Amino acid sequence: QVQLVESGGGLVQPGGSLRLSCAASGSIFSINTMGWYRQAPGKERELVATMSSGGSSNYADSVKGRFTISRDNAKNTVHLQMNSLKPEDTALYYCYFNQWPYVYWGQGTQVTVSS
């Protein structure tokens, strides 16, 4: 079992920045993938960015060049630096942890981009 604790959401104006963090604890092995998904009201949950324990990253096209994912394997943490935020980035952001054959989700942290 793996537990995920997210932090860093909030309200920001368009063009602003936020940094999300997620800490994993529990039965963690060396090979896994961590990252972020988001879900806006009335929409399906979608990929934002993920990074494997080996350092390979994957981004949604909509956030490339604006968001940067990073992780600290020793601390089992993953971060999402979000710059140049747009109103369409408003969503509930979920931490994601994939350690085969299981997938774990955080409870979500709200990001609202509005003037």
Instruction: Indicate if the pLDDT at residue 30 is higher than 90.
Output: no
When pLDDT is averaged across residues 49-65 and rounded to a whole number, the result is: 97
The four Cα atoms 28, 30, 32, 37 give a dihedral, to 10 degrees, of 60
* Average pLDDT taken over every residue of the chain: 96
When pLDDT is averaged across residues 48-73 and rounded to a whole number, the result is: 97
When pLDDT is averaged across residues 58-75 and rounded to a whole number, the result is: 97
Cα-based distances in Å from 8 to 27, 71, 111: 24, 15, 9
DSSP 25-80: EES--SS-EEEEEEE-TTS--EEEEEEETTS-EEE-GGGTTTEEEEEETTTTEEEE
When pLDDT is averaged across residues 97-115 and rounded to a whole number, the result is: 96
Phi and psi at 47, nearest 5°, equal -65, 140
45-53: Cβ within 8 A, 24+ apart: 45/94, 48/80, 48/93, 49/80, 50/96, 50/98, 51/78
